Amino acid sequence: MAPEPFKKQKKGELPSILVDFAAYVVFVISILVFYLIFSFQVKGVNTIQSASIFDKDIFLTSYLKTPVMVDGIETNMAELIRYWYLDKEKYEDLLRKTSVELLNHNEYEYEDSLTKNTRVRGYSITIRKGINNDDKFKVLLTLESKSFQNYCISDIRGCANLGEQVLPVSENVNLYIVLFEGQQAKK
Amino acid sequence: MKNKKGALPFAAILVVMMVFALIYALVQLSGKYNQFDKKIGERQSALIDTYKHADSVLFYIDQSAKYSLQQSVYELAENGGIAEIEDTAAGTPALHECGKFKDAYVWYQIINKGSGYDVKSCFDDNSVTYNLPYLFNEKLNNYILNHPENILTDNYEYTIGGSLEIIGRAFQPLKFDIFDSKSNTEPRISGTEKIAAVSVPGTAMSCVRKAVSSSSPSGVSGAAAADIPDAKIILPNTKPKETIKISTECTQRDLKGTISLGQDLIDFTQTTLCSKGDECIVTREAFELILAAQGLAQKKGRSLVVYGAYRAPERQQALWDGKTAEDYARRYPKEWERANYVTNPLVCKNDVNKCSHYSGKAIDIRFYKKEWKMTNAEWKELNKLMAEAGWVRYANEAWHFECCGTDRYARAKAKGVAEIV
């Protein structure tokens, strides 16, 4: 087939080579613009380093709301703690027994992903006096499940506080309840 | 096909314009939104943590309510079912009409008049329905004030159910910051709650609580100098959750008379200038005067605390209608008698000047000190200091000051005095 004769440019029409060049330039510019847009947006995004402990506080709240019989009347653990604070001699045994039972019941086993051994999670609850005063660190009572060890789940500040609750005792006395979690290898 | 003149340049120009349009859009968008500086999931995680924190506070309130009821029932029984309500206007108790005999309230009074006996019954069998919530509220307030955080007091409308059941419906929601003050965006979570109906051992009672939460793009400002509180502006006729965040520095800058009076309100609740458990909202100009008074007080080694400011008409109506713990409506069914203790909202409707707390330009203020009571000398000192800062005192109340063009303020200024009835 004979080649087509060279087409004559019309007046005002750009040569096709120029049009192609303009299209390439625009294409490259568009790519650059969108690259800039996306790089700008991605800059501020980081993946979260460590997920928050979502069950924090739930266990402690559940513990404090657990129904318990005190002197033949159904109440909850929070109120038993109050009774204990007001009359330690009378209620300490009941508080210890009920609490340890509850904490033991909630222990759980899991396989450690690094060491591949089976571990048991245990709990410890401390009852402290006050929160806003010098007694802040004065521990009045510690309640531990059977598998709790001092090798507790910790962060840079020491044992991680997995839950805390201010409990009223009277109009001017509060108790400060703190939950810790510990672990040990299953024997 | 024949091309028209300029067809090709038009396409090229269109593309170039599109590129410019995209760049413009990018600049506009980046200016509109702050850079996304949160970690993925951080906001959601904070939201869940806040919810749990709110639940912890509600648990404290529930337990406090339970103990408050037990103590209230005990004290009410001990006092023969009578609770002397505090007269909010005078700051003193409105005494039991038949008084006491040997430290016990008199139920029935027989007075020998010589010619005969005057017999008077001083005990209303139904009084427990308003005396119990009143006492209960007092106790609950004490518990709430003892909580390490700032929870609003006098914040519940009570209804008594059968078998010693009290249900409190909150006037104002509890508010918690989801992020700390360092955060750029500080949305809040609000919880509207009904506090627990509480139980006394040995009685059959139930427990009801409903929590609803919602978030809004408002917030409080960051940390500021110790003597100047953080504050936020509230647009007129809006609820606190519709606030605009400003910093304290911004507050001071903006307060230089650039905004017309009465247009904006400033909420400084939960700051060092507002009494714990109270809500403090005033106009911008009033806030500036409070800061001025605080400055003067600090020079004298004192510190001020506001415990009453803007009061919404709805709140006044609730007080009048007996929907607060004082239950004025049932305690004083006759309106003329009730008016001795609480202002009739109708009066305010007819003449808003009669209810200066509506304006956000009237405050109840005292020196910050451990004990609530102030000596006469201290009241005088406060009076002098407030007058220096530009306030006018309501002559019948040592703690009530007004400013910024209220009716009382204008009358005082016209007479050239710093206190007026």
Instruction: Say which CATH number the domain at B298 has.
Output: 3.30.1380
| Nearest-by-Cβ selection for B55 from A14, A30, A61 | A61
Q: Work out whether the CA dihedral B6, B9, B15, B18 comes out positive or negative.
A: negative
Residue of A154, A156, A146, A97 whose CA lies nearest to A123: A146
Q: What is the pLDDT of residues B206-250, one digit of tens each?
A: 222 222 222 232 222 222 222 333 445 444 333 333 333 322 222
Collect all residues of chain A within an 8 Å Cβ-Cβ radius of residue B5.
11-12
In a domain, A118, yes or no: yes
Residue of A154, A170, A161 whose CA lies nearest to B143: A170
Query: How many Cβ pairs closer than 8 A exist between chain A and B?
Result: 106
Distance between CA atoms of residues B369 and B137, nearest Å:
23
Determine how β-strand B362-367 pairs with β-strand B304-308. antiparallel
Do residue A34 and residue A125 come from a single domain?
no
Alpha-carbon distances of B148 from A40, B54, B279, rounded to whole Å: 43, 13, 17
**Residue spans of alpha helices (H) in B228-375:** 248-254, 284-299, 313-321, 328-331, 335-338, 345-350
Phi, psi for residue B218 in degrees, rounded to 5: -105, 175
> Taking CB atoms and an 8 Å limit, are B52 and A56 in contact across chains?
yes
Distance between CA atoms of residues B360 and B242, nearest Å:
17
CA distance B167 to chain A (A): 19
Distance between CA atoms of residues B271 and B226, nearest Å:
10
In a domain, A3, yes or no: no
In a domain, B55, yes or no: yes
In a domain, B316, yes or no: no
In a domain, B113, yes or no: yes
Do residue A27 and residue A104 come from a single domain?
no
In a domain, A5, yes or no: no
Alpha-carbon distances of A122 from A184, B177, B390, rounded to whole Å: 8, 32, 63
Q: Which domain holds residue A148?
A: 58-185
Locate the DSSP E strands across B28-180: 86-87, 92-93, 100-101, 104-105, 108-112, 117-121, 156-161, 165-170, 174-177
Question: For chain B, how many structural domains are there in total?
Answer: 3
Q: Using the structure block, give the residue that is written with the tokens 């709790």.
A: A148
Q: What is the dihedral of CA B351, B356, B358, B359, to 10 degrees?
A: 100
Do residue A122 and residue A167 come from a single domain?
yes
| pTM check: above 0.80 | no
Distance between CA atoms of residues B316 and B324, nearest Å:
10
Collect all residues of chain B within an 8 Å Cβ-Cβ radius of residue A43.
35
Q: What is the pLDDT of residues B45-82, one digit of tens each?
A: 788 888 888 889 999 999 999 999 999 999 888 888 87
In a domain, B136, yes or no: yes
Collect all residues of chain A within an 8 Å Cβ-Cβ radius of residue B60.
165-168
Do residue B161 and residue B276 come from a single domain?
no
Contact (CB, 8 A) for B411 and B393: no
Do residue A29 and residue A74 come from a single domain?
no
Indicate the angle between helix axes A77-86 and B42-78, nearest 10 degrees: 50
Do residue A109 and residue A29 come from a single domain?
no
What does each of the 187 residues of chain A score in pLDDT, given as a tens digit? 555 555 555 666 666 777 788 888 888 888 888 887 777 665 555 554 544 455 556 889 899 999 999 999 999 999 999 999 999 999 999 999 999 999 999 888 888 777 788 888 888 898 988 655 555 567 899 999 888 876 566 555 556 677 889 999 998 889 989 888 877 777 7
Do residue B204 and residue B268 come from a single domain?
no
